[in-house]
A and B are shown apart, each in its own frame.
Chain A
């Protein structure tokens, strides 16, 4: 269905879609065309009536229940959102963390006690000067511990524990926050991450 051409102008005038010049011309028409003026007035009255009785905002029935129901549904969605989020491997896209991870892997490979090589960490290097690496051998863990300080921010709840290579229980490294046991911070920023190289095998 097409709008009759003679009514297109009236429509655009009513809806304020005309240029100032068009509006001026149409106003002149209204003064000399009584039928057009009557129609314009009728449509303006209709608009006023509609706006008066069809409010842009309405009170929501049982508004508190409306909100609480949404919250209930959101609570169900949050685990799903976390579950469907990027894997922790996505954090390896961060250049600093990727470099640090590479360093850890290197350390693990070099320091494997069963590799038959009596290795020691003579020096550490991090490509980012803001990341500092230190190592020490933990008798209790039977592993060399590599500490990386100044890593990129990542959500504290993002678990890195459980990365396994080869055998199902061969844990390559894990990340702990040094203040483990206290309430988890919002992010792991400024927390010193401890990456434990554990080369124990079955």
Chain B
């Protein structure tokens, strides 16, 4: 499972903040939220492809984590535990959406609407044409991700973005190792088909 990056020198370690949060210190929990909101939001955003809903789901994940904190025994890294909660929250949401028949791909969903005041992912100072090319490519990749089924998108996010092993993905989904490999295989085939011209031209 994804592990938390080591706190910067001078930062309070996760386990201290977790202990304080478990004792009811919501300020300590606020520091944990600040530390991990970017990663949790990225995960929900990549899965949902909608800024507003990803924002809500990331919040929901933190609220659920707060509620579950008394039961967290610190037998794994806090981020690993938090990621699992966020994954379940997101997947439950997708499942409900599917049941409601609202799971069809919608082009508008992949349009990256950046809210006023929101920063984009930190990058070097790109030249304007390079920045434009990157933005276009980013849009195409998000659109391609949106065309994957939820199951396929999920394994791509877990493997390519979070760097989870097959075993970790199988445990999180949950499914067999064979299913993980099969989903990864077909998800990549689909992405290759949709994006081949993009990355081959860029190479």
Contacts and interface: CB of A to CB of B under 8 A. Distances in A.
Interface of A: 1-4, 7-8, 11-12, 15, 17, 42-43, 45-51, 53-63, 66-67, 69-71, 73-75, 77-78, 81
B119 interface: yes
Given A46-B199, A50-B141, A8 B160 contact: no
Contact of B198 (A2, A7, A49, A54): A49
A59 B120 contact: yes
Given A60-B55, A60-B58, A49 B137 contact: yes
Interface stretch (B33-41, B98-106, B124-132): B33-41
B118 A42 contact: no
Contacts of B34: 63, 67
Contacts of B195: 46, 49
A27 to B, nearest CB: 20
Main secondary structure of the interface of B (DSSP, over half): helix
Given A42-B192, A45-B199, A54-B142, 8 more contacts: A1-B182, A1-B186, A3-B182, A15-B166, A45-B203, A46-B188, A49-B141, A61-B118
B59 A66 contact: yes
Nearest to A8: B181
Interface string B7-42: 000000000000000001010011001100111011
Contacts of A63: 34, 37
Contacts, number: 135
B63 A78 contact: no
Contacts of A62: 55, 115, 117-118
B59 A69 contact: yes
A45 B195 CA distance: 10
Nearest to B21: A74
Contacts of A73: 59, 63
Contacts of B26: 71, 74-75, 78
B181 A58 contact: no
Contact of A50 (B30, B120, B160): B160
A42 B189 CA distance: 10
Given A54-B161, A60-B55, A77-B67, A11 B37 contact: no
Nearest to B36: A57
A167 B203 CA distance: 85
B38 A57 contact: yes
A42 B202 CA distance: 12
Contacts of A4: 185
A46 B190 CA distance: 11
Contacts of B156: 50
Nearest to A42: B192
Given A11-B185, A56-B162, A45 B121 contact: no
A51 B196 contact: no
Nearest to B38: A57
Given A46-B191, A71-B26, A81-B24, A53 B137 contact: yes
Contacts of B55: 60-62, 66
B58 A66 contact: yes
B121 A58 contact: yes
